[in-house]
Amino acid sequence: MRRRVLIVSILLVLSVLVVQRLTAPNSPPRVSIDSRYLCAALAAYIPAEELTCADCTYAAVDKSHRLPASYVPPVMPVLLTGGGSLVPEAAIALTDLFAEARQRKLAPRITSAYRSYEDQARTFAAWFRQELSRTHNLDRAFDNASRYSALPGFSEHQLGTAVDLNCDGCAPFDREDSRNIALWKFLEDEGYRFGFAISYPRNVEALTGYQYEPWHIRYVGKEYAAALFAQNYLDGNGVCLSAFLRAQAHP
C-alpha cells in the first residue's frame, strides 16, 4: 500500500512539472556569441559621432554616438503609474509588460521616460552638482556622475523608447529593496518578450561606460530583443545593445 501511495505521489509531481513546462513562456534558444555584437572598449579622447537618422528608434546611442539637440521623437503620454511619455510602439509594449508584472504581484512604476535634450542637460547638471557637493573635486564629480547619467545628446531617453522602472512605493534605484530586486529580475527574465532590452547589463561598465542598471530598459521590438537575449548578454559576456544595433544597421 505504501509503495502504491509513493508511486501515485511521484506521478502527481511529474504531471505538475510537465504542465508547468508546457505553460511556461518559451525562451529563445541560446546561441553562440556573435562577435559583431561584442562591445569594443571605450576609447579615450575620440570625438563622438553625431547621428543623422531621421528616425532614430533603433539607433545605437552610447558614449561614442550622440543625438543632435534637434532630435525630437513623436512621443505620446503613457497612462501608467508614474506617467511620462514614449513613442507609441514603446508605450503599447510597456502597457503589456505592466499587465504581466501585475499578474505576478509586482507593482512597477515609471521613474523616468522620455527626456528631451534640454531635460537631459538639467538632469546631468543636477547629478553633477550632487557629486560635487560630496567630492569637492570637479573631475571626480564629473566622472562619478557620468557612470549613471548621460550628457545631453548621449541619453537613450531622448529616443522616447527608454524607461526607468522601480516598484511603486520604493525608493528609486534602491538596490537593497527586495521589491525593486524582484521587479528588475522580471525585467531581465521576461522583458525581451515585450520587446525590451537591458541597456546596461552587469559586468560591462568598462565597455558601456555606465554602471549596471537593471531598471533601465529600452524598447527595440520583440525580434531584436529576443535575438539579443539569446546571446546571453545579461551574464556580462561583452555583448551589448549598442554593438548589436550597429550590426543590424550594417550587417
Q: Show me where the domains of the chain are located.
A: 34-249
Angle at 71 between CA 53 and CA 223, to 5 degrees: 55
Tell me if 110 sits within 8 A of 82, measured CB to CB.
yes
Q: Which grid cell is 20?
A: 508547468
pLDDT of residue 5: 41
**SS3 label, residue 249:** helix
- Beta strand 76-77 with 65-66 is unpaired
3 CB-near residues (< 8 Å, 6+ apart): none
Q: What angle do CA 213, 219, 225 make, to 5 degrees?
A: 90
For the chain, give the mean pLDDT.
90
Cell, residue 157: 531617453
> Quick one: average pLDDT of 193-214?
96
pLDDT of residue 117: 98
Return the H-helix or E-strand segment holding 219: strand 216-219
Predicted confidence (pLDDT) at residue 179 exceeds the cutoff of 50:
yes
pLDDT at 44: 65
Band (pLDDT 50/70/90 cuts) for residue 151 is: very high
The pLDDT value given to residue 73: 98
User: What is the Cα–Cα distance from 135 to 199, expressed in whole angstroms?
Assistant: 28
Contact 219, 89 (CB under 8 A): yes
Residue 45 — very low, low, confident or very high, per pLDDT cuts 50/70/90?
low
3-state DSSP call for residue 47?
A: coil
Residue 114 Cα distances to 66, 134, 144, angstroms: 16, 28, 23
Q: Does the pLDDT of residue 194 top 70, yes or no? A: yes
Residue 59: closest CA among 230, 224, 207, 233 = 224
Could you give the 3-state DSSP secondary structure of residue 15?
A: helix
pLDDT band with cut points at 50, 70 and 90 for residue 40: confident
Domain range 34-249, CATH class: alpha beta
Do 210 and 243 meet the contact criterion of CB atoms below 8 Å apart?
A: no
165 close to 111: Cβ distance less than 8 angstroms: yes
Model confidence band, residue 229 (pLDDT cutoffs 50, 70, 90): very high
Higher pLDDT, 59 or 12: 59
Q: Evaluate if residue 134 carries a pLDDT over 70.
A: yes
pLDDT of 153 higher than 50 = yes
Give the per-residue pLDDT at 13.
Answer: 37
Each residue of 137-150: pLDDT tens digit? 999 999 999 999 99
pLDDT for position 28: 76
Q: What is the pLDDT of residues 69-121, one digit of tens each?
A: 999 999 999 999 999 999 999 999 999 999 999 999 999 999 999 999 999 99
How many residues does this entry show for the chain? 251
Model pLDDT, residue 47: 81
